[in-house]
Amino acid sequence: MDCIQTEMTLYEKLQILSDAAKYDVACTSSGVDRRGDGNGMGNCSRAGICHSFSADGRCISLLKILFTNECIYDCKYCVNRSSNDVVRTSFTPDDICTLTMEFYRRNYIEGLFLSSGILKSPDYTMELLYVTLYKLRHVYNFQGYIHVKAIPGADTRLIRLTGFLADRMSVNVELPTAEGLRRLAPHKSRKNILTPMRFVQDGMRQNREEITLYRNAPRFVPAGQSTQMIIGATQDTDYHILSTAEALYKKFDLKRVFYSAFVPVNRDSVFPAVSHDGPPLLREHRLYQADWLLRFYHFEAAELLDEKNPNFNIFLDPKCCWALKHLELFPVEINRAEYRMLLRVPGIGCKSASRIVKARRMGNLQFDDLRKIGVVLKRALYFITCSGKMMCPTKIEEDYITRNLLNTKERIPEGAGSLNYRQLTLFDDMDPEKARLTFQ
């Protein structure tokens, strides 16, 4: 093994270890504002900065790499699993520091995203990550963004030390249910994954108290933690996935849950039949929309889906679906409705809702004002009145509105629904209830 490693050039290592890291979707550099102290290199901006977009249209913000693609585990969905015959290699801490610094100086990246396969043991691996980060922060004086993985099963003291050097930490829950995990990642367990997550959460809480006591206390994971779930590698429904996400937000104060459409890199009979449409991108998109509803629109997972309707509709976004099921609450009067109710109207986003609340203090709003404010009227018109009047005569009836909403093209990210778009035009009048089945 060693001789392979020493023979390999930095170029080859980078190719292998970035290729192996690419299925991790998180690449944001957001969540923390930090100015440089003048003695090193780098700073952070709260909104995050994207530096490029790769051929798949995803943002590149961080140098996303594995420390090593060696792994003692054998997770079924992973390229690096021990049973795969792939070229193995590892960086050294200095390799990683040099790459990060030299890329950062040229403004290619915002920082480092460091993950790893499990080399020898969780502790051994976590220590390597720690040593790398320590060097990067204290020898190379790097002050840009660092996102690092906490390795499940590693000594919490190692995780704690690492957390003081990182901006964000994440542990991937990988699969929405414990059962899925048991089948696909036999060496991992729910408990094993949630323990470091809880630990980081407690660490952050404690750190917040320390910072109120003395301002210069070292910061522990200031940009918070995130996690990721693979979508479509098991039979789990959207309801399972969203409920898990909700529980993670509530119980673990996560900053973000990411969803990653499953790309079958290994042939294995445990996976559901692979569809020919490629990874389930539209499904991933719907989950992100619903996630948004949980985080910013005060929705609960159980309002959007339930055991009887466990999957999102491919034709209509989750908010429209919810509204159609609750027509008794509509139409709402724009000039009087509470902010939270405005948020629930299809076609009204967070920004428009707060603009409405501000603007109506000055006087009654008309439909024209709403357009200027940024409300998407062609979706909202079925659900609102302005001074008691609807924009145009319309029936408040599920079928009728559904048909009309389906005719207003939703903006789906390019490519996410190419196949489904074709379906849409083929079966213009298709019953959305039936359409749901195509997911399975």
Partner 1 sequence: MKQVYICHDTVTGIYSALYDAWKESRNREAGIELRGKTQQQLFCEYRIVEECEKKVPAVQRMIKRYMGYNTYWDFYLAILSDDNEKGDAVFRTMQEARRIADSTRIMDHLGCPAVAKVFELSRRVSNEAHIYKEVIRFRELENGVLFSEISPRTKILACIAEHFADRFPLENWMIYDKTHKAFLAHRAGAECRLICGEELNKESASRISANQKEYEELWKAFFESIAVKERENPKLQRTHLPKRYRREMTEFS
Residues that bind partner 1 (CB under 8 A): 10-11, 14-15, 18-19, 21-23, 35-36, 38-43, 49-60, 63-64, 99, 102-103, 105-108, 144, 261, 263, 278-279, 281, 413-415
Q: Rounded to an integer, what distance in angstroms lies between the CA atom of residue 63 and that of residue 115?
A: 11
Q: Does 113 contact ligand SF4 by CB under 6 A?
A: no
Q: Rounded to an integer, what distance in angstroms lies between the CA atom of residue 327 and that of residue 342?
A: 14
Q: How far is the CB of 99 from partner 1 (least distance, A)?
A: 7
Q: Rounded to an integer, what distance in angstroms lies between the CA atom of residue 1 and that of residue 71?
A: 13
Residue 199 CB contacts under 8 Å (≥ 6 apart), including other chains: 150, 156, 159, 160
List binders of ligand SF4 among 159-218 (CB under 6 A): 185
Q: Rounded to an integer, what distance in angstroms lies between the CA atom of residue 165 and that of residue 40?
A: 15
Q: How far is the CB of 56 from partner 1 (least distance, A)?
A: 4
Q: Which helix (H) or strand (E) holds 145?
A: strand 145-149
Residue 57 CB contacts under 8 Å (≥ 6 apart), including other chains: 413, 414, 415
Q: Which does 11 bind (CB under 5 to 8 A by kind): partner 1, ligand SF4, none?
A: partner 1
Residue 73 or 383 having the CB closest to ligand SF4: 73
Kindly provide the b/e burial profile for residues 118-142, where b requires at least 16 CB atoms within 10 angstroms of the residue's own CB. Answer: bbeebeebbbbbbebbebbbeebeb
Q: Which does 302 bind (CB under 5 to 8 A by kind): ligand SF4, partner 1, none?
A: none
Q: Rounded to an integer, what distance in angstroms lies between the CA atom of residue 214 and that of residue 234?
A: 48
Q: Which does 201 bind (CB under 5 to 8 A by kind): ligand SF4, partner 1, none?
A: none
Q: How many residues sit in the footprint of ligand SF4 (CB under 6 A)?
A: 9
Residue 153 or 222 having the CB closest to ligand SF4: 153
Q: Which does 390 bind (CB under 5 to 8 A by kind): partner 1, ligand SF4, none?
A: none
Q: Which does 193 bind (CB under 5 to 8 A by kind): ligand SF4, partner 1, none?
A: none
Q: How far is the CB of 71 from ligand SF4 (least distance, A)?
A: 3
The residue from 17, 27, 63, 71 that contacts ligand SF4 (CB under 6 A) is: 71
Residue 146 CB contacts under 8 Å (≥ 6 apart), including other chains: 111, 112, 113, 114, 133, 136, 137, 165, 166, 167, 168
Q: Which residues here bind ligand SF4, judged by CB under 6 A?
A: 71, 73, 75, 78, 80-81, 117-118, 185
